[in-house]
Chains A and B, each alone.
Chain A
Amino acid sequence: AQSVSQHNHHVILSEAASLELGCNYSYGGTVNLFWYVQYPGQHLQLLLKYFSGDPLVKGIKGFEAEFIKSKFSFNLRKPSVQWSDTAEYFCAVNVGNTDKLIFGTGTRLQVFP
């Protein structure tokens, strides 16, 4: 079965630090990849997505992610985090032949001023 792994469960950073959150998936075929953010008490918001083309994807709020097919990875990055980035981040994968979206376990990011 398809699965999505996020190895960083809890990340604590100071403002202006750089961020990289790992995401790996297990599926050998065509995939669509997503990163979602969930701020405290709010619903999921799309940060960015990859369907095809340039493997380096830029999203909202300064986030970007790189799809590396050979590594089955789609890591999320931000060069300089802000206190307002404190949230839960979810990687998700949609396998090409279905519409189901499978989520990773999530990474809780805390940014301190």
Chain B
Amino acid sequence: GAVVSQHPSWVICKSGTSVKIECRSLDFQATTMFWYRQFPKQSLMLMATSNEGSKATYEQGVEKDKFLINHASLTLSTLTVTSAHPEDSSFYICSALPDRGGYTFGSGTRLTVV
């Protein structure tokens, strides 16, 4: 089946630095990918829709300058958390829709900002 690979699975960074998270579709092309954030014991909150070759669409309340999304190819979308702060610590998950059969999710990235 369709697989989405997300890397890294976990990262620890210092406050003020930037962190890049990659999401790759391994056996299909994804013109659209989705980025979610999940707080401990809470649901997934949609942050933005990543569109290949164009600007991402951000959900209300999500800072586009803080969470930079780039979707330069049909198999890769990246989320960069800029000038990270401890409140950005969270679990970030990407997703794609390989066909109308359903969504496929990456394994997630746990970001800890110290």
Contact = CB atoms under 8 A, between A and B. Distances in A.
- Mutual binders A and B: yes
Interface of A: 34, 42-44, 46, 49, 51, 90, 99-106, 108
B34 A44 contact: no
Contacts of B49: 99-100
A100 B44 contact: no
B102 A90 contact: no
B43 A101 contact: no
B44 to A, nearest CB: 5
A103 B93 contact: no
Contacts, number: 41
Given A43-B106, A49-B101, A90-B44, 6 more contacts: A44-B44, A100-B46, A102-B46, A103-B36, A103-B43, A103-B46
Contact of B44 (A51, A99, A103): A103
Nearest to B105: A44
Contacts of B23: none
Interface string B33-58: 01010000111111001000000000
Given A34-B102, A49-B102, A43 B107 contact: yes
A43 B44 contact: no
B108 A43 contact: yes
B32 interface: yes
B32 A101 contact: no
B46 A101 contact: yes
Given A43-B106, A43-B107, A99-B49, A105 B41 contact: no
Contacts of B46: 100-103
Contacts of A104: 43
B93 A44 contact: yes
A60 B34 CA distance: 25
